[in-house]
Amino acid sequence: MGHIVNSEREYRLLQQRLDYNLTGAPYAPVFVDILKILFSPVEAEIAGSIPVRPITLTALADKINMPKEYLHSHIESMAAKGLVFDFVHKNDTFIALAPVVIGFFEFVFMRTRGDLPMHDLAELFEQYMFQDDRFARSVFAEKTQLGRALVREEAIPADDYSEVLDWEKASNIIQSAAMIGVSLCACRHKASHLGISCNAPQRTCLTLNSGADMLIKRGMAEQITSHEAMSILLECKTAGLAQIADNVQQNVGFICNCCGCCCGMIQAIKKFDIRNAVVTSNWIAEIDPTACVKCGACIKACPVGAIVPGNSPTCDADLCLGCGVCYTVCKCGAIKMKRREQRVIVPETTFDKMVLMAIERGKLAHFLFDDPSRLSHRALGRLATIIENSPPVKTLLAIQPLRSVFLNTLVKKAKQYVK
């Protein structure tokens, strides 16, 4: 490997490899054009051989029969562009291929740079993501999603505030983070290269904990204090942006501050009616018709268009994110946030989230056992494929009380295999 490369074949194989990821990467000629800009032919060959799970540099060099030093130089190049993750654990360098989202799309656009044709990439990504719904439906398939809305704490009635859990509060997520980084909003930055960005601030993407550490080391984020992060949060609330966080309870990895016009997650809701592209908060807007003066501020402010105009504006419960943006702009006190009747379930950890996404999307085998060179992984992968596609499992997953029991059992078993 690493000698004569059939570039067309390698880019097609790389697309197929990226499609194994939980959020997918369906084929389109425009996506191959993106890959050709981001990856050299040799890099595409290497990247297409990286398993879904992290692999050590030494193991990858042995797997693809490439000198370790030569491989390391290409990994460094790809990591600098944001195409792979590289990190050190117990004195070993591990490598993982970044998915499209949340992955190399964000890493390309979350900083200003002169090493890539940004306008061309912006046009290509816009086509790939929004010329039809295939990519959006791949990313936002099923119920478990990458992001969840955070309710504005100031919108919660005083009597209910004690019921808001720590992982539901943007302030607690920020103040408890071990490290915080800030980057450009990838969506608004991309839109700015197309001349269609709104006027909302761009230095608003907050990464937290280990994710922040990695991005800061690679120059993709600027390290900031929790006080600075809280100031950015206040600026974003004032600008009418909705807060969308990593869909986990522990070690939250990011808080995005999203507008209704540029955000890819929100555009999936508005353009393609994928209403569950963002997991809602545990709150929902309620409008008091006797107090409403019909000024229309809430209709204009709602990032997903959940406020329905009429003689008396109402909230579309199936569409409302529970973000509280409408509460902030209502000057007559007609809007309050009330707790949803059915509690929203949020995975406890990133691993739990990913396993659940893998089960729902039929990709458990790829997620847990994607290393064809290992006999045990081939056998376990076949077993996982049979399990996740069996009708009894589909039935269990559809029944919420049993679903949690099934998932917890599977996660415990899976963790034994991924150590």
Over the stretch 266-289, which tens digit does the pLDDT of each residue have? 999 999 999 999 999 999 999 999
* Residue 240: pLDDT band with limits 50, 70, 90: very high
Checking if the pLDDT of 236 tops 50, the result is yes
Q: Where are the alpha helices (DSSP H) in 311-399?
A: 325-329, 350-360, 364-369, 375-389, 391-398
Min mean pLDDT across 101-115, 153-167, 187-201 is at: 153-167
Burial of 181 (0-12, 13-18, 19+ CB in 10 A): buried
Q: Which residues contact 2 (CB under 8 A, 6 or more apart)?
A: 42, 45, 46, 64, 65, 66, 70, 71
Checking if the pLDDT of 49 tops 70, the result is yes
Q: What is the pLDDT of residue 376?
A: 46
Domains and CATH numbers, the chain: 7-98 (1.10.10.10), 139-339 (no CATH), 362-418 (no CATH)
Checking if the pLDDT of 56 tops 70, the result is yes
Checking if the pLDDT of 153 tops 70, the result is yes
CA separation for the pair 86, 74 (Å, rounded)? 12
CA separation for the pair 272, 137 (Å, rounded)? 9
Length of the chain equals 419
Checking if the pLDDT of 241 tops 50, the result is yes
Residue with tokens 């402010």: 301
Q: What is the pLDDT of residue 375?
A: 44
Q: What is the pLDDT of residue 419?
A: 47
SS3 state of residue 290: coil
Residue with tokens 């209403």: 275
Which helix (H) or strand (E) is 204 found in, with range? strand 203-208
Look up the pTM and report it: 0.88
Candidates 419, 348, 365, 384; CA nearest to 52 is 365
CA separation for the pair 78, 7 (Å, rounded)? 17
CA separation for the pair 330, 295 (Å, rounded)? 9
Q: What tokens does 31 get?
A: 């996506």
What number is the average pLDDT over the span 116-135? 97
CA separation for the pair 340, 151 (Å, rounded)? 12
What number is the average pLDDT over the span 303-319? 94
Q: What is the percent of the chain where pLDDT is above 90?
A: 73
Checking if the pLDDT of 1 tops 60, the result is no
Q: What is the pLDDT of residue 359?
A: 82
Q: What is the pLDDT of residue 373?
A: 45
What number is the average pLDDT over the span 159-187? 94
What number is the average pLDDT over the span 167-187? 97
Q: What is the pLDDT of residues 319-356, one digit of tens each?
A: 999 999 999 999 999 999 999 999 998 999 898 898 88
Q: What is the pLDDT of residues 356-385, one digit of tens each?
A: 888 888 887 777 665 544 444 444 455 455
Q: What is the pLDDT of residue 417?
A: 47
Supply the angle between the helices 400-418 and 350-360 in degrees, to the nearest 10: 110
Q: What is the pLDDT of residue 90?
A: 80
